[in-house]
Amino acid sequence: MITTILQIAGGIAGVVLLFFLAIMIHEYGHFIVARRLGFKVDAFSICFGPAIWKKKVNGVEYRIGCIPLGGYVALPQLDPSSMDVIQGGHKEDDKDEDKDGTGDADAPSASAPPMAAWKRVLVALAGPAGNVVLAIALALLIGAFAPKSDFGGEGTVIGSIKGERAEACGIRAGDEIVAIAGRRVSFWSDVVIECHLAGDAEEGLQATVLRDGKEVELTLPVKKDDDSGFLRLDGITPWLDSEVADIAPESPAANSSIMRGDRVATINGKTPTSPMDAVDIVREAGTNEVTLVVERAARRGGPIQTLTFTLLPKFDEELGRHIIGIAFSNPAASIPQWMTYRNPWRQLTSDANSIFRMLGALVAPKAKGEQKRAASGMGGPGTLLFILWNEVHKGFFRSMGFLRFLCINLAIINLLPLPVLDGGHILFALVEIVTRRRPSRKFVEYVTTAFAVLLIALMALLMARDAIRIHKFVSREAAEESSER
């Protein structure tokens, strides 16, 4: 009980620390450049809304808000008052406002004189730059020190073809998917993304496969997943090696010298194409003996050993079938897209390409229904925190990998030319540079406030959808756990 509580507490602490690190480094970028360029800084806040803690130091109010959706640095010369709707009222009394109504409505206050447009651009860029710097440092750390087992991912070689539609499309086990709708794919995670964005439940998915050294064009069947609502391949799964992940006590396997980490070469003469296929082969054996041929890596780089075991299945009353007591798995299947590469540059470009792909589908879709499917695939803060929770429990480097991925995503999204985001401030400053006239302060406030309200509404919608998806995911995972032996 105490161990469980400590694990939960450690997980929560890890999630909070990493989530706020991503926010803090972004806001610190704004803060340090603003101070260096002479901007007036009213507040530095982690989270939005009314403060649950605040302290004023050297004229700057440091705050922790009650709405954990981001953070901000209050800069009156960059954003006079248009973010009040979510910032939570940090401002001093109206001593800096034009109370008598006789002054220029667009002019900054006496205590906050106007700043050059190029300086405002630098301050706006500094936040995303902070995220990029942290991401680069994390990529170098991961590339240098993460163990080999943390990298990889499912390849695109086809292992299993089941069902009428899959068998009729012409794809074969051993084919390698190299492109979908003209886009090159390297890992199964790429296939999953492209299937959802470019696929069609009725018309299928256009794919290029490599077969005997030649490229073949095929139309693969697609169906909609009832739980997530995402489109996925129907009856087609990747080739996955099967390893011994766990051995049940007092089982036939426990009485042998089979070890965790052994790679299964054959079961009863058949080569399993995935862990689930291995389970099916064992199930088909019934009460008959099961012969496993496994490969075991020798210590200190020695030759691989090939071992043969013959096991007599035992009836499991809970599962209602005969088992040999082995849980099969493939480590590559659990490696996420942010841990596919060791090379730091490949890490960063992969992170950036993933968000560019999604943004491209939203603003410039190239396939039927792509924009709608991209919008349906968006996750909110709940999804980010849920993934971060899982990655924290998978180990230090896995959590650092997701933090790097998150930082690159935050940097790119914040540079979109939309009011409320850093890209909006850059856009207004560039308009001033080109036209030599600053946009009306009231216009900027109205537009930014409108976008802030829309952002809050979007976050509320995404969080509600996150809660539904997470509940379905956890329920499905619990149901699948019982069928792994």
Q: Which amino acid is at 119?
A: K
Instruction: Tell me the sheet residues that pair with 338.
Output: none
The confidence score (pLDDT) of residue 292 equals 94
Which of 474, 478, 470, 472 is CA-nearest to residue 382?
470
Domain 242-329 has CATH 2.30.42.10: yes
Question: CA torsion, points 366, 338, 151, 183, in degrees to nearest 10?
Answer: 10
CATH 2.30.42.10 residue ranges for the chain: 153-238+330-334, 242-329
Instruction: Tell me the sheet residues that pair with 23.
Output: none
Assign domain 153-238+330-334 one CATH number from 3.30.413.10, 2.30.42.10, 2.60.120.620, 3.30.2350.10. Answer: 2.30.42.10
Which of 453, 432, 454 is CA-nearest to residue 106?
432
The confidence score (pLDDT) of residue 478 equals 63
Helix or strand holding residue 290 (H, E): strand 290-296
The confidence score (pLDDT) of residue 26 equals 95
Helix ranges (DSSP H) in 269-420 = 275-285, 344-363, 370-376, 381-394, 396-414
Q: Which long-range contacts (CB under 8 A, 24 or more apart) does 356-364 make?
A: 356/412, 357/193, 357/197, 359/412, 359/416, 361/197
The number of helices, as runs of H, and strands, as runs of E, in the chain is 12, 17
The confidence score (pLDDT) of residue 477 equals 67
Which residue ranges in the chain fall short of pLDDT 50? Answer: 92-107, 109-110, 482-485
The confidence score (pLDDT) of residue 334 equals 81
- Judge whether 156 and 192 are in contact, CB under 8 Å: no
The confidence score (pLDDT) of residue 460 equals 85
> Which residues make Cβ contacts (< 8 Å) with residue 333, sequence separation at least 6?
154, 240, 275
Angle of helix 2-36 relative to helix 117-145, nearest 10 degrees? Answer: 140
DSSP codes joined into one string, 62-103: EEEEEEEEEEEEE-TTTSSSTTHHHH-S-PPPGGGS-TTS-S
d(CA 438, CA 262): 68
Q: Give the 3-state secondary structure of residue 104.
A: coil
The confidence score (pLDDT) of residue 91 equals 55
Instruction: Tell me the sheet residues that pair with 55.
Output: 62
pLDDT in tens, 4-63: 777 777 888 888 889 889 999 999 999 999 999 999 999 999 888 888 999 999 889 999
d(CA 481, CA 128): 41
3-state secondary structure 266-282: EECCECCCCHHHHHHHH
The confidence score (pLDDT) of residue 319 equals 78
Count CB-CB contacts under 10 A for residue 121: 20
Q: What mean pLDDT value characterizes the chain?
A: 86
- Judge whether 248 and 313 are in contact, CB under 8 Å: no
